[in-house]
Amino acid sequence: MRVTIAEVARRARVSKTTVSRVLNNKGDVDAATAIRVREVIAATGYTPSAGAVGLARGRTQTVGMLVPGLTWPWMGDVLQGVSDVLEARGYGLLLHTVNRGEQSLTQFQRHVSANAFDGLLLVEPPDTLSYITSLHEGGLPVVMIDDRGHHPGFPSVATSNDKGAADAAAHLLTLGRTRLAMVTGPAAFGCTRDRTAGFHGAAANAFDPALTAEGDFTRDGGQAAIEELLAKNVEFDGVFAHNDLMAVGVLDGLRAAGRTVPDDVAVIGFDDISIAEHTQPALTTVRQPSREMGEAAATMLLAHLAGETPPEEPLVVPTSLVIRESAPAV
């Protein structure tokens, strides 16, 4: 049975007139109500007649955002940066995750079909890049946050993964560390490749590629990786972990093995998530500017919606080294 405008109004708890105003992008419907109506339209598959609506992009005052999930430690900072910019400009945010895989993506596609947002911000979920690229090529403005080394054919905001890793290596060398180990993220990630290259290049002869173990960006993965390195019985006095959660696992593993940080081994992480300053000892880390990346991406997207030509190259927001007790300054 065909869904009617009356059914949409009933589910959205508004009048048919309000639904009609949302469909015709009238500016006198508040953002929260408009989003609710568009969510019902997407969920029910309601298709208005050609005479009932003029759904032109750029008039919903809503930005969509697609992310893998909300459990990544730095995702909250990204979202805060995005929302700060959007709220200041009078835009609403329609957030989608892919926690339920294809089911979640299908729901997102319904919102796309319903023209529920003017443009899209993206922290790329797995296996969605080709689909998002097709949306961009079809006219939907898109900005990616954290390109993970993929360098898509649309605007993106990234951070200086290679430079941040190089700064970590340089700091360990300044401390007089001469045998450096590294716990990497999964090899498929662009940030893993960039951080590996940056650290390797700056550490030079102090880094032995044999003292590398691959982790999975989790605390348990970091502990397993450092246990793998310890089992090689090859001495090292500094460790760079590709994110803070793995660095915390490295601290756990070193402590269990009777190694003292930083006296025996200095440890540096990457991200500067909230736990970093509360570890024992507090973690020296490379700060990834997550909130600033969200702000920059939202600003770029709104400028694109206003008619400005987006940059062809990724906008790089620089990292910075945060020195704490796990690798203190000399």
Buried/exposed code over 257-292 (b: 16+ C-beta within 10 A; e: otherwise): eebebbeebbbbbbbbbebbeebeebbbbbbbbbbb
Distance of alpha carbon 98 from alpha carbon 38, whole angstroms: 19
- Count other C-beta atoms under 10 Å from residue 102's C-beta: 8
Residue 2, pLDDT > 80, answer: no
* Average pLDDT for 146-174: 89
Domain boundaries, the chain: 1-55, 57-159+292-317, 161-289
- The domain 1-55 having CATH identifier 1.10.260.40: the answer here is yes
Length of the chain: 330
pLDDT over 70 (residue 4) = yes
On whether the CB atoms of residues 307 and 244 are closer than 8 A, the answer is: no
Evaluate if residue 52 carries a pLDDT over 50: no
Residue 225 above 80 pLDDT?
Answer: yes
pLDDT confidence bin for 59, thresholds 50/70/90:
low
Distance of alpha carbon 26 from alpha carbon 48, whole angstroms: 16
- Alpha-carbon distances of 230 from 175, 234, 305, rounded to whole Å: 21, 7, 53
Report the run of H or E that residue 271 belongs to, with start and end.
strand 266-271
Q: What mean pLDDT is predicted for residues 144-170? A: 88
Order of strands across the sheet with 142-145? 92-97, 62-67, 119-122, 142-145, 156-159, 315-317
Task: Examine domains 57-159+292-317 and 161-289 and report if their fold is the same.
Answer: yes
Lowest mean per-residue pLDDT among 76-85, 115-124, 149-158, 234-243: 149-158
180: which strand partners? 207, 238
What is the percent of the chain with per-residue pLDDT over 70, rounded to a whole number?
93
Residue 163 has which token pair? 């430079």
Token pair recorded at residue 308 = 């400005």
What is the fold, at CATH topology level, of the domain defined by 57-159+292-317?
Answer: Rossmann fold (3.40.50)
pLDDT surpassing 60 at residue 150? yes
Mean pLDDT, to the nearest integer, of 21-26?
75
Q: How far apart (Å, rounded) are the C-alpha atoms in residues 260 and 38? A: 57
Q: CA 196 to CA 165: how far, in whole Å?
A: 7
Q: What is the pTM of this model?
A: 0.80
Give dist(CA 110, CA 194) in Å, integer: 36
167/161 Cα distance (integer angstroms): 10
Give burial (CB, 10 Å; 0-12/13-18/19+) of 119: buried
One-letter amino acid at 243 equals: N
Query: 21-35, 181-195, 196-210, 249-263: which range is least confident on average?
Result: 21-35
Least confident interval from 23-27, 138-142, 198-202 = 23-27
**CATH homologous superfamily for 161-289?**
Response regulator (3.40.50.2300)
pLDDT band at 51 (very low <50, low <70, confident <90, very high): very low
pLDDT of residue 219: 97
Q: In this structure, what DSSP letter does residue 55 have?
A: -
Average pLDDT, the chain: 90
Q: What is the dihedral of CA 207, 209, 212, 216, to 10 degrees?
A: 110
